[in-house]
Amino acid sequence: MDTERKKQVVLLARKARKAAEYIAKEEKSPTKLHGLCARASAILFELLREEGFNPFICFGNGHCFLEVDEFLVDITATQFGYSKIFIVHMNDLFSKLKLRDQEAALACNGYWDREPEHAYSSIREAIAHQDKHGWPYEQLISREDFI
């Protein structure tokens, strides 16, 4: 991803993060966006698609995030002690993790570890994944979040 594309992703990520923070406030959810990873990721996914990106909405171990141009993009990583807009090239992810998360990654059960079949190119597929894996109702992606 070149510098201009990365800037565009950051701007869209900030916009999606603000929308997720608004949802959290309205629903009296934690300000670090715990439990809103899939919903926030879906908002960013849609914004990126509108701008011509081809993101994937991904599910790791109890967590949801995006992959865009070989970059991990997570706007709810604050719940794990990372920045509000956590963007890192997939090849550099391990080196950017805190020790506890490196240990989890080595055991293949980190937040951002995912099977190849758990990366989706549509919201509909992501919702089906959530249904299949029994995600809590309040964490389910909802079209109401896009209004």
Q: What is the pLDDT of residues 47-96, one digit of tens each?
A: 999 999 999 999 999 999 999 999 999 999 999 999 999 999 999 999 99
Q: What is the pLDDT of residues 75-85, one digit of tens each?
A: 999 999 999 99
Q: Sorting pLDDT into bands at 50, 70 and 90, what band is 32?
A: confident
Strand order in the sheet with 71-74: 86-89, 71-74, 64-68, 56-59, 119-120
State the DSSP string of the chain.
--HHHHHHHHHHHHHHHHHHHHHHHHTT--TT-TT-HHHHHHHHHHHHHHTT---EEEE-SS-EEEEETTEEEES-GGGGT--SSEEEEGGGHHHHS-HHHHHHHHTT-STT---GGGEESSHHHHHHHHHHTT--GGGS--GGGG-
As a whole number, mean pLDDT of residues 3-18 equals 96
Q: Sorting pLDDT into bands at 50, 70 and 90, what band is 147?
A: low
Q: Sorting pLDDT into bands at 50, 70 and 90, what band is 18?
A: very high
The phi, psi pair for 129, rounded to 5°, reads -60, -45
CA-CA-CA-CA torsion sign (89, 93, 95, 96):
positive
Whether the per-residue pLDDT at 146 is higher than 80: the answer is: no
- Rounded to the nearest integer, the mean pLDDT of the chain is 94
